[in-house]
């Protein structure tokens, strides 16, 4: 048999508990309000203390709410900055690329200025060279050390002529063709250059060792005439090399001998000047007394 459609519903326990809790809260609020009124009338100082406690509690909750609002505001700013960071990053990348290109161009110009200044000093402070030509490159073969100069007999280059760069002596022309020449480098085993120490004027002989260095030997045996860092220049003795041309710097001292490294690096020099063979002046003979 089906249940009747219109059935009277009774009160559930949940509804009863809710009504009871509402009555309890209302009665408690009335009692608390009455107690506060009574305290305000009988003891205003204590009521002021209670009001201070309420204010402090309200300030605490207000501060927590403010922190939350500021946090939401900061999160919004962060999201906005993140959205804008993409376009700003692209703009900075383009600006950085332009700056890099400008720096590279400035370095190229500075290197060219340095090269031109070196060539200007080379032409200004030395006897007039025959010509300036490009050093194509150095070609060491075993103990032999050569460089190729892009000038030959058609331009007046002859074997025995000296070759130097802005840094110092490179070597001398070993053999020449019509349009190019081979330069015997200072570090070749067959190179011998009369030199002197600028610090003391001590005469010495510098010879190539075939390993990128030169051995400097004092012409007067005994003692320790060399110091590390001494500058070695040509002395002009015997001709061929113009006097006071920078040759090398002493790196190691071994008694009356030293190891020096040439100042000029043909692998890094772009241009070199070719000078005629130096002729040492002949000293005038003393006049003989007439009989």
List, for residues 24-36, the tens digit of each pLDDT value: 888 877 877 777 6
- How far apart CA 133 and CA 152 sit, in angstroms, is 10
Q: Give residue 172's pLDDT.
A: 93
Quick: pLDDT tens for 265-286.
888 888 899 999 888 665 544 4
CA angle, 261 as apex, 215 and 236 as ends, to 5°?
65
State the SS3 of the chain.
CCCCCCCCCCCCHHHHHHHHHHHHHHHHHHHHHHHHHHHHHHCHHHHHHHHHHHHHHHHHHHHHHHHHHHHHHHHHHHHHHHHHHHHHHHHHHHHHHHHHHHHHHHHHHHHHHHHHHHHHHHHHHCCCCCEEEEEEEECCECCECEEEECCCHHHCCCCCCEEECCCCEEEEEEEECCCCEEEEECCCCCCEEEEEECCCCCEEEEEECCCCCEEEEECCCCCCCCCCCCEEEECCCCCECCCCCEEEEEEEEECCEEEEEECCCCCCCCEEEEECCECCCCCCCCCCCCC
Among 125-129, 228-232, 278-282, name the one with the lowest average pLDDT: 125-129
Q: Give residue 270's pLDDT.
A: 82
Q: Give residue 65's pLDDT.
A: 57
Quick: pLDDT tens for 39-93.
666 767 666 676 666 655 555 555 565 566 566 666 666 676 666 777 777 788 8
- How far apart CA 164 and CA 265 sit, in angstroms, is 10
Using CA atoms, how far residue 243 sits from 100, 121, 168, 227, in Å, is 45, 17, 12, 21
* Sequence ranges of the domains in the chain: 17-125, 131-275
Q: Give residue 236's pLDDT.
A: 86
Q: 119 is written with which tokens?
A: 């060539």
Mean pLDDT of 117-128: 56
Angle between helices 44-125 and 13-42 (to 10 degrees): 90
- How far apart CA 58 and CA 48 sit, in angstroms, is 15
Contact between 245 and 186 (Cβ < 8 Å): no
Q: Is the pLDDT of residue 198 over 80?
A: yes
- How far apart CA 186 and CA 82 sit, in angstroms, is 64
Residue linked to tokens 């030199």: 195
Question: Whole-model pTM?
Answer: 0.54
Residue linked to tokens 């909750």: 61
Among 89-93, 200-204, 224-228, name the one with the lowest average pLDDT: 89-93
Residue linked to tokens 């204010």: 55
Quick: pLDDT tens for 152-179.
999 999 999 999 988 889 999 999 989 9
Q: Give residue 98's pLDDT.
A: 78
Query: 131-275 — its CATH code?
Result: 2.40.10.340
Q: 113 is written with which tokens?
A: 């200025």
């Amino acid at each position: 048999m089906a249940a009747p459609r219109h059935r009277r519903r009774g009160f559930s326990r949940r509804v009863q508990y809710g009504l009871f809790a509402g009555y309890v809260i209302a009665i408690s609020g009335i009692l608390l309000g009455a107690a506060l009124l009574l305290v305000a009338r009988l003891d205003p100082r204590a009521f002021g203390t209670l009001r201070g406690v309420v204010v402090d509690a309200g300030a605490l909750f207000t501060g927590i709410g403010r922190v939350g609002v500021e946090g939401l505001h900061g999160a919004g700013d962060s999201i906005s900055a993140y959205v804008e960071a993409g376009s700003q990053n692209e703009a900075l990348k383009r600006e950085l690329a332009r700056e890099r290109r400008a720096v590279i161009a400035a370095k190229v110009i500075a290197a060219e200025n340095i090269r031109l200044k070196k060539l200007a000093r080379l032409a200004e402070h030395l006897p007039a060279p025959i010509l300036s030509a490009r050093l194509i490159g150095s070609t060491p073969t075993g103990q032999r050390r050569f460089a190729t100069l892009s000038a030959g007999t058609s331009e007046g280059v002859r074997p025995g002529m000296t070759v130097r760069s802005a840094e110092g002596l490179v070597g001398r022309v070993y053999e020449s063709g019509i349009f190019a020449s081979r330069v015997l480098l200072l570090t070749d085993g067959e190179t011998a250059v009369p030199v002197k120490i600028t610090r003391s004027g001590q005469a010495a002989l510098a010879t190539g060792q075939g390993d990128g260095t030169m051995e400097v030997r004092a012409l007067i045996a005994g003692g320790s005439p060399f110091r590390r860092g001494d500058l070695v220049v040509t002395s002009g003795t015997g001709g061929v090399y113009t006097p006071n041309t920078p040759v090398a710097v002493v790196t190691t001292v071994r008694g009356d001998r030293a190891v020096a490294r040439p100042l000029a690096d043909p692998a890094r020099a772009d241009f070199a000047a070719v000078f005629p063979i130096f002729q040492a002046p002949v000293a005038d003979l003393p006049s003989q007394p007439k009989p």
